[in-house]
Amino acid sequence: MTEAGTTGQGRRTQAERDAITVEIGYALCSAAFAAAVVFGAVAGPALLFSLPGTVERLLVGAGLVLAPVLFTVRVVSVLLRFGRSAGRSAAQLDRPDQPDQPSQPGRTRPDS
């Protein structure tokens, strides 16, 4: 039996390791950006304008709660989606006779 996301020999190729590294970097960067935008949208008015103390604390607190939650959800969703697509690609490698796309009857030339 092989581990999920590995080739038939049980070892990842350099291309697979590179793809995982790029995907982790994308997940972290996009999550940090999304969290910063949400924090700025929620807590920004409290930091820019003079608001009553309670409202200011509430907005900053909400931003401090929502930003890490969004960061975590974004990282997990990107990596899970990548894991599913990588598993699907590995399954297609096991069945080389299966085309990536269904055939299109009646189209015999690339320019038709």
Residue 100 lies in a domain: no
Which one is predicted more confidently, 26 or 96?
Answer: 26
Q: What is the pLDDT of residues 5-29, one digit of tens each?
A: 444 557 888 888 899 999 999 999 9
Answer for the pair 80, 25: CB distance below 8 angstroms, yes or no: no
pLDDT of 87 > 70? The answer is yes
| Tokens standing for residue 5 | 């996301």
Mean pLDDT, residues 55-82 taken together: 95
Long-range contacts of 98-103, Cβ-Cβ distance < 8 Å, separation of 24 or more: none
**Position 50 confidence tier, pLDDT thresholds 50, 70, 90:** confident
Residue 43 lies in a domain: yes
Residue 30 lies in a domain: yes
Contacts of 6 (CB under 8 A, 6+ apart): 12, 16, 90
**Position 1 confidence tier, pLDDT thresholds 50, 70, 90:** very low
Neighbours of 29 (CB within 10 A): 10
Q: How many domains does the chain have?
A: 1
Residue 103 lies in a domain: no
- Domain ranges, residue 45: 17-93
Phi, psi of 99 (to 5 degrees): -70, 155
Note if the pTM is more than 0.75: no
Please give the pLDDT value at position 102.
Answer: 57
Residue 4 lies in a domain: no
Residue 29 lies in a domain: yes
Rounded Cα distance, 56 and 60, in Å? 6
Mean pLDDT, residues 28-54 taken together: 93
Hey, is 95 helix, strand or coil? coil
